[in-house]
Amino acid sequence: MTETITGVAVKFGNNERFAICVGTPPHRHSDILRNIWDRGSNSEVQGFWTSHNRFVTRAEALPIAKAAGQFKRRNQPGDYDGPELFSENLW
C-alpha cells in the first residue's frame, strides 16, 4: 500500500518527552502552532502525519507526497519547489 500524507503535524517538546498534534485537511501548520505557542511551547518540528501512522518531517514528506500523486504545484509567481513539503501543495 502506497503511503500518503493524511494531515499536517507538529512535534513539540524535547527528545525525552514530546507530543505530536495532527490537523486534518484543510488545516495548516499555523492552526496547530497557535495552540502550542498559547501554551508556552517554543520547541517544535513541523511535519506531516502519514497513512502509515507516523510523523515525518517536511523534507521526508515531499517524496511521499510526490510518489502518491498528492503534490500540487500552485502555479503562482515565486511558487516554491524546494526540498520540503508545505500544506499549500496538498490542499
Give me the residue spans of the domains in the chain. 5-89
pLDDT value of position 56? 97
Convert 23-79 into a string of H (helix), E (strand) and C (coil): ECCCCCHHHHHHHHHHCCCCCEEEEEEECCCCEEEHHHHHHHHHHCCCCCCCCCCCC
**pTM of this prediction?**
0.84
| For residues 13-24, average pLDDT | 83
Quick one: pLDDT at residue 41? Answer: 66
| In the predicted structure, residue 89 carries a pLDDT above the cut 70 | yes
Helix, strand, or coil here: 14? coil
Q: Give the model confidence (pLDDT) of 22-63 as tens digits.
A: 999 999 999 888 877 776 666 789 999 999 999 999 999 999
Looking at the DSSP bridge assignments, the partners of residue 18 are 13
- pLDDT, residue 12, reads 85
- Count of alpha carbons within 13 angstroms of residue 21, beta-carbon side: 19
